[in-house]
């Protein structure tokens, strides 16, 4: 029996499936303590109920999203949305990030977190979960 994330990966084109499987396996290896599930139709990893990283298929290719990524100060990540998220677009065909970059981003995702879990309760106001310095 397959998991919902495996079903998601099977729904992708061959190129996207290979890239998505690599992302899935790498994220699971680095963030072993994270809970992975399909959330809003896409694979997302959570630490203590807080979303930290996920990926999705967009019109122009796969997108790797870090909910607190703007605070990582990583030049390859681009700001996304009005909160603290940042993304890496893999494109079509997918161009994978370097493994060292992805590992560094995933470790930062563990260490640098904004509290998205309670965003609605706080009426759209984000608060830091970790003691990192935000400039």
Which domains, ranges and CATH numbers included, belong to the chain? 4-111 (3.90.1150.200)
The model carries a pTM of: 0.92
Model confidence at 134: pLDDT above 70: no
Structure tokens at 2: 């397959």
Which secondary-structure segment (H or E) carries 38?
A: strand 35-39
Nearest CA among 46, 50, 47, 28 for reference residue 37: 46
Phi-psi region of 90 (alpha: psi -120 to 50; beta: other; left: phi over 0): alpha
pLDDT of residue 125: 80
pLDDT tens digits, one per residue of 14-65: 999 999 999 999 999 999 999 999 999 999 999 999 999 999 999 999 999 9
pLDDT tens digits, one per residue of 71-128: 999 999 999 998 999 999 999 999 999 999 999 999 999 999 988 888 788 777 878 8
Per-residue burial over 83-107, b if 16 or more Cβ lie within 10 Å, else e, is ebbbbbbbeeebebbeeeebeebbe
């Amino acid at each position: 029996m397959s998991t919902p994330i495996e079903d998601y990966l099977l729904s992708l084109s061959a190129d996207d499936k290979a890239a998505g499987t690599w992302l899935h396996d790498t994220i699971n290896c680095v963030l072993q303590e994270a809970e992975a599930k399909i959330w809003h139709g896409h694979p997302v990893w959570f630490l203590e109920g807080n979303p930290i990283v996920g990926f999705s298929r967009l019109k122009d290719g796969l997108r790797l999203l870090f909910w607190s990524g703007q605070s990582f100060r990583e030049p390859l990540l681009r700001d996304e949305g009005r909160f603290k998220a940042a993304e890496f677009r893999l494109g079509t065909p997918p161009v994978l990030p370097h493994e060292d970059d992805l590992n560094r981003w995933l470790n930062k995702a563990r260490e640098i977190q904004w509290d998205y879990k309670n965003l609605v309760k706080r009426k759209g106001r984000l608060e830091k979960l970790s003691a990192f310095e935000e400039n």
